[in-house]
Amino acid sequence: MLRPEHCLRLLPAATSAFVAASAPFPFPLPRRGAIRLRLPRARTPRLMGKPSSSSRASAGPDAAVAPAPEMPQREVARALAEQAVASLGPRLLPSAVPDDVAEFRNGAGNAVGSLDVRCGAPGSSIDFMMQSSLHCKVPNGAIDITSILVFLNATTDAPHFLLELIQGSPTSIVVVLDLLPRKDLALHPDYLQKYYENTQVDKQRAKIEELPQARPYRSPSLFVRSACSPTAIMVSIDCGQGGEGTLEEIVSERLATVAKEVLQIWLDCCADSIAEMDAIERDCLVERDQIVRSKSIEVDLTANLPRMFDPDVSSRVISEIRKAFGVQES
């Protein structure tokens, strides 16, 4: 739910921008071929699981090359994914993402990504769980984006779960962590109380914002700000020159703990929620969800992903995300 274009001011001036497969908002990208630094041709590790035998077989000589570097935020995302899968169990179907979408790269070799989607089992309240990671080499370093989304279906009006971590330098990271509301909170104070006040999720936000290295992140996009809850963790953590170790410690300890707590709140209070809704309420809920998803696909991914990846690659990735989001090509 974060527009990375708006956090570029937080990144080094020479940093080139790109969009994550599941980060739904746009920002300017360099023309294809503008970046010439090459990333070692290795397969980007998935957040969960292992490459299939066919993937390993096709890796060829590149299999011995070191993959995109492991980073603390990927460990956080991997731990959260395992936590979610352990709790949701049979309510999640196995991933059916093709190998060439589960792991993909551009022709220049400077950008690699991974995408995993697990749909909800029939009869469950889970619509889908999506994980993605992107790593892009740029002239003065790299940008790394890691995301987890868990969307619910229309059997409940409970919030969705969102985590996005965008690291643009070794010493700074933007964090977006939220239970995305599916109703207008001002019109539904009971919803605000049930999912945000009674769960005390706002205490987790305070644990991050109290860090001396943390500064509030305020997206210039009114749409983004209106889509998030008032308890959303939206911060930039900047540890300054020489602060690589400090950032790693914050991500691996404080952020990991808070993210785990927020996910557990979602698992306990939202994942199993079933709501009694009349036809009009349900239609409004579905329409609201579709607006968010359609905007994510039509405005952002179709405009930006093809500018970083070759047309056939971006087309395959966008197609899988459309399928998960339930959004048809217009």
Contact between 11 and 143 (Cβ < 8 Å): yes
DSSP state of 201: T
Identify each DSSP E strand in 93-184 by its residue range.
103-105, 111-119, 126-138, 141-152, 160-169, 172-180
Q: Which residues lie closer than 8 Å to 193 by C-beta, 6 or more apart?
A: none
pLDDT in tens, 85-126: 999 999 999 998 999 999 998 888 888 889 999 999 999 999
Average of pLDDT values for 124-131?
A: 95
pLDDT in tens, 138-175: 777 888 889 999 999 999 999 999 999 999 899 999 99
Both structure tokens of 108? 């220049």
- Is the pLDDT reported for residue 57 higher than 90? no
Both structure tokens of 5? 């274009």
- Is the pLDDT reported for residue 8 higher than 80? no
pLDDT in tens, 282-294: 999 999 998 888 7
Rounded to whole angstroms, how far apart are CA atoms 144 and 85? Answer: 24
Helix (H) or strand (E) holding 215: strand 214-216
In this prediction, residue 309 carries a pLDDT of 79
Rounded to whole angstroms, how far apart are CA atoms 329 and 84? Answer: 30
Return the closest-CA partner of residue 134 out of 329, 309, 327: 309
Average of pLDDT values for 231-245?
A: 94
* Mean pLDDT over the full length of the chain: 79
In this prediction, residue 26 carries a pLDDT of 32
In this prediction, residue 302 carries a pLDDT of 61
